[in-house]
């Protein structure tokens, strides 16, 4: 009979325990969890703080009692593994309720310690009104604060998923929110240009967004918590939520002599085995292989953690399961907006040395003649050598998850642009278009790879050579509402009759609102001998990005004025 000790519950550990029991009814399974909750909806915690989820029990997926009843697992909450002896195959455990220390031997050990919120060593970080969000206990503490003390202004440090979700939930409660992001854009896995869509939307929702702004410390001044910003500015507030990312919880593994990799994460093979015999590791604390780049990566996500728990369990029970890698598929709700991504960003692809280009679409969520259609901004990255899809980022209000999931599946299957064009996807007017946005991305990449059109991008337009002619083929009304300075304006439907107005021998940068009509114009002009480039994403995308670059990102907040 195998004795299996699992350190940590939640996604990876709990999945492993349940899978082992389904495969081996005779195994002795002990699961240790230092918090008071063994399996809980970690991703739902911000929504409990904001009151969207109202019942405490909805956060807990399993209790120690339910786990024992269904899976016959000895779950010990408030019990922390404090040492591992891999030679003796023994775990030292501290009962946090009694202070007692004891040991358990194991035949197989699974480490699922997760990751802890990063708390940078800044002055004043020990202030009780600086919060992080990881456990159910953290959630109850923060919920008690926002409901009991009715804060007026909270500073959220970090523009990742947790930071954005907390900002939304606090703002919905009527609390003024200032968001500080050290980088030039929110959502680190996104590229700057696609994040600009999110920046603009956050501002419409009253979030005071401060990009390229770092907190350097905290203090108490005139009875209020004060955030000290780089450069000397100060912000007074009632509380700070630190959401600057997570750090693998690998102290135990390090002290046990296990091999560590990226950012101190536990190195595992494709069977989830560590460098120590009979010791496995899963979840947010492990280093994985990025499915697209092949590089070591740290991708703390619930989906891969669950799969890894299952794979570790399979191998312990004699099944040859492997974890091929993770592509970082993720999604976030920001008020009514959805932002999703999968695979590599453009920045990550270039860092990995992969030859790449991208297309931008602004596509409706379903047939425009059916009521309720909204547009999505889509960026799809592809390998210029073989046409394989490398990554995608989508921002919109409806249908974002569906398209990102299709593209995630396409990336895992190694599909090319030609494959996207051929995909047969479900269509009816309330759900999609006959040419789904995923198909359209494939068509666009095909056109580029086949040499039917050349494209340029917003950054090419910003830094264009002086002798380039900018041609705007939108309608008179669109042009009047805003245009690129110095652009020549000829609507596409008048272009054939006015081609003689275009200067011969000049390179043309052609654009419309989204890139579709300008593609038609480029096909027309190229067959008349003109050297033309279509502006990817059109004037709309160019305008969003250039406005963001010039935006005043230091709004004075009624509750966040410098003190």
Is the pLDDT confidence value at 561 over 70? no
CB 212 within 8 A of CB 231: no
pLDDT band at 40 (very low <50, low <70, confident <90, very high): low
- Of 54-63, 254-263, 515-524, the range with the lowest mean pLDDT is 54-63
Q: What is the pTM of this model?
A: 0.93
CB 366 within 8 A of CB 430: yes
Is the pLDDT confidence value at 286 over 90? yes
Q: In terms of pLDDT, which residue wins out, 105 or 61?
A: 105
C-alpha 492, offset from chain centre: 38
* Rounded (10°) angle between helices 400-412 and 437-449: 50
Is the pLDDT confidence value at 559 over 60? no
Q: Among 134, 137, 168, 143, which residue's Cα sits nearest to residue 42?
A: 134
Tens digits of residue pLDDT in 303-337: 999 999 999 999 999 999 999 999 999 999 999 99
Helix (H, G, I), strand (E, B) or coil at 124: coil
Q: How far apart are CA 136 and CA 259, in angstroms?
A: 30
What is the reported pLDDT for 560? 41
User: Tokens at residue 340, please?
Assistant: 């999703």
Q: Among 318, 308, 256, 277, which residue's Cα sits nearest to residue 27?
A: 318
What is the reported pLDDT for 376? 96
What is the reported pLDDT for 344? 97
pLDDT > 70 fraction of the chain, expressed in percent and rounded:
97
What is the reported pLDDT for 318? 95
When pLDDT is averaged across residues 439-456 and rounded to a whole number, the result is 96
Among residues 43, 196, 356, 404, the one annotated as catalytic is 43
Q: Among 502, 516, 510, 499, which residue's Cα sits nearest to residue 471?
A: 510
Is the pLDDT confidence value at 180 over 70? yes
Is the pLDDT confidence value at 275 over 90? yes
**Sign (positive/negative) of CA torsion 51, 55, 56, 61?**
negative
CB 429 within 8 A of CB 370: yes
CB 523 within 8 A of CB 508: no
Tens digits of residue pLDDT in 96-146: 999 999 999 999 999 999 988 899 999 999 999 999 988 888 888 898 999
Per-state percent for the chain, helix, strand, coil, to nearest 5: 30, 30, 40
What is the reported pLDDT for 222? 87
pLDDT band at 432 (very low <50, low <70, confident <90, very high): very high
What is the reported pLDDT for 11? 82
pLDDT band at 452 (very low <50, low <70, confident <90, very high): very high
Residue-averaged pLDDT of the chain: 93
Cα angle 401, 405, 406 (rounded to 5 degrees) comes to 120
Give 126's contacts (C-beta < 8 A, 6+ positions apart): none
Whether 43 is a known active-site residue: answer yes
Cα angle 99, 105, 111 (rounded to 5 degrees) comes to 80
């Amino acid at each position: 009979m195998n004795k299996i000790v699992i350190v940590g519950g939640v996604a990876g550990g709990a999945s492993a325990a349940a899978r082992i029991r389904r495969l081996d009814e005779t195994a002795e399974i002990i699961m240790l969890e230092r918090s008071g909750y063994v399996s809980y909806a970690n991703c739902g915690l911000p929504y409990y703080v904001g009151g969207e989820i109202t019942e405490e029990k909805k956060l807990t997926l399993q209790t120690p009692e339910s786990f024992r009843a269904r899976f016959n697992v000895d779950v010990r909450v408030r019990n922390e593994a404090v040492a591992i002896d891999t030679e003796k195959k023994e775990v030292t455990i501290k009962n946090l309720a009694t202070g007692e220390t004891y040991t358990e031997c194991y035949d197989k050990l699974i480490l699922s310690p997760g990751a802890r919120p990063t708390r940078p060593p800044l002055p004043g970080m020990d202030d009780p009104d600086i919060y992080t969000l990881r456990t159910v206990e953290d959630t109850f503490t923060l919920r008690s604060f926002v409901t009991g003390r009715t804060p007026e202004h909270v500073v959220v440090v970090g523009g990742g998923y947790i930071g954005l979700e907390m900002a939304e939930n606090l703002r919905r409660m009527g609390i003024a929110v200032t968001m500080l992001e050290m980088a030039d854009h929110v959502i680190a896995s996104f590229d700057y240009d696609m994040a600009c869509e999110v920046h603009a939307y956050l501002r419409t929702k009253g979030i005071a967004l401060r990009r390229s702004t770092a907190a350097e410390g905290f203090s108490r001044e005139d009875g209020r918590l004060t955030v000290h910003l780089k450069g000397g500015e100060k912000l007074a507030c009632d509380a700070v939520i630190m959401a600057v990312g997570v750090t693998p919880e690998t102290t135990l593994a390090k002290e046990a002599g296990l091999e560590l990799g990226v950012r101190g994460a536990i190195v595992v093979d494709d069977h989830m085995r560590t460098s120590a015999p009979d010791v496995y590791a899963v979840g947010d604390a492990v280093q994985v292989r990025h499915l697209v780049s092949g590089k070591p990566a740290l991708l703390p996500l619930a989906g891969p953690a669950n799969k890894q728990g299952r794979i570790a369990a399979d191998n312990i029970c004699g099944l040859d399961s492997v974890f091929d890698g993770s592509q970082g598929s993720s999604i976030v709700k920001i008020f009514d907006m959805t932002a999703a991504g999968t695979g590599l960003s453009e920045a990550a692809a270039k860092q990995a040395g992969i030859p790449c280009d991208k297309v931008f679409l602004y596509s409706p969520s379903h047939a425009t003649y059916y009521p309720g259609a909204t547009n999505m901004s889509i960026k799809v990255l592809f390998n210029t050598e073989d046409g394989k899809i490398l990554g995608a980022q989508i921002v919109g209000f409806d249908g974002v998850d569906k398209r990102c999931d299709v593209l995630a599946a396409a990336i895992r299957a190694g599909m090319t642009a030609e494959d996207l064009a051929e995909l047969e996807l479900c269509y009816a007017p309330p759900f999609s278009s006959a040419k789904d946005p995923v198909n359209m991305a494939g068509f666009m990449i095909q056109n580029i790879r086949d040499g039917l059109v050349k494209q340029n991008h917003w950054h090419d337009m910003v830094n264009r050579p002086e002798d380039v002619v900018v041609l705007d083929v939108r309608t008179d009304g669109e042009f009047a509402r805003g245009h690129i300075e110095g652009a020549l304006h000829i609507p596409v439907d008048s272009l054939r009759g006015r081609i003689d107005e275009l200067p011969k021998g000049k390179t043309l940068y052609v654009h419309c609102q989204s890139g579709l009509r300008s593609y038609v114009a480029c096909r027309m002009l190229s067959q008349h001998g003109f050297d033309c480039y279509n502006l990817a994403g059109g004037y709309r995308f160019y305008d969003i990005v250039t406005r963001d670059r010039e935006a005043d990102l230091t709004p004075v907040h009624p509750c966040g004025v410098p003190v």
